[in-house]
């Protein structure tokens, strides 16, 4: 399906008061890559999964990079606003309550989610960032006082060294976000502990959403 030029998948919720997971794939993934993971983490949740528009060779991404870990800042900023606008439009089209939206991003998807938090904080209030690093330093400090974030990082990640993930956690906290940071005994790939941690965190956030939703 295609809305506002983003190819994506949307799976409606099958459980009452279930959240919507915004699934953001890593490099080489697509709109179907994280669907099974999302369904496993929150059975019955709605799933909204766009495909990144940028191609690196044959591999979809959400923004361009100049080298491993070196981002094209002009493109990153443009794609961040583009995706944030699409999230708002898709939420309207599918009648998604913004308060129920939880972003779940892996690697490149986690980085674009972090960039949205920093540049368009109104678009995402809750996010699970799997293997994320600092995407950029915003010119204006965002107000993240209402944002809740889980970061899960591999202590032996060769692509995103642990200090880079820790720097992002520190940055988000400095802007007011509530950040849970979990170190996993792994590299860049996800392990079962990542999924257990994400599932537990999302359950806690669901309880918070229910308490604050009229």
Instruction: Give the residue numbers annotated as catalytic, written as ranges.
Output: 107, 157, 188
CA angle 27, 183, 168 (to 5 degrees): 65
Q: How many angstroms separate the CA atoms of 71 and 3, rounded?
A: 26
Q: Which is nearest to 94 in space by CA: 31, 11, 6?
A: 11
- What b/e string do you get for 75-90 counting C-beta neighbours within 10 Å, with b at 16 or more? bbbebbebbbebbbeb
How many Å apart are CA 21 and CA 195, to the nearest integer?
14
Q: Which two tokens stand for residue 16?
A: 């009452």
Supply φ then ψ for residue 7, to 5 degrees.
-65, 135
State how far the Cα of 68 lies from the Cα of 65, in Å rounded to an integer.
Answer: 7
Helix (H) or strand (E) holding 8, with range, is strand 6-11
């Amino acid at each position: 399906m295609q809305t506002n030029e983003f190819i994506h998948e949307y799976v409606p919720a099958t459980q009452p008061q279930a959240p919507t997971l915004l699934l953001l794939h890593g490099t080489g993934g697509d709109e179907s890559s994280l669907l099974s993971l999302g369904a496993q983490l929150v059975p019955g949740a709605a799933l909204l999964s766009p495909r990144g528009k940028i191609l690196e060779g044959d591999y979809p991404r959400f923004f361009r990079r100049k080298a491993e870990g070196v981002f094209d800042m002009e493109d990153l900023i443009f794609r961040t606003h583009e995706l944030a606008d699409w999230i708002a439009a898709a939420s309207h089209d599918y009648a998604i309550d913004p308060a129920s939206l939880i972003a779940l991003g892996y690697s490149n998807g986690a980085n674009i989610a972090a960039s949205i938090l920093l540049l368009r904080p109104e678009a995402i209030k809750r996010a699970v960032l799997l293997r994320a690093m600092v995407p950029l330093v915003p010119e204006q400090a965002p107000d993240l006082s209402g944002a809740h974030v889980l970061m899960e990082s591999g202590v032996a990640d060769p692509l995103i060294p642990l200090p880079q993930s820790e720097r992002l956690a520190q940055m988000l906290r400095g802007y007011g976000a509530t950040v849970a940071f979990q170190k996993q005994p792994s590299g860049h790939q996800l392990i079962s502990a990542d999924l257990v941690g994400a599932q537990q965190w999302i359950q806690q956030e669901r309880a918070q959403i229910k308490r604050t939703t009229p």
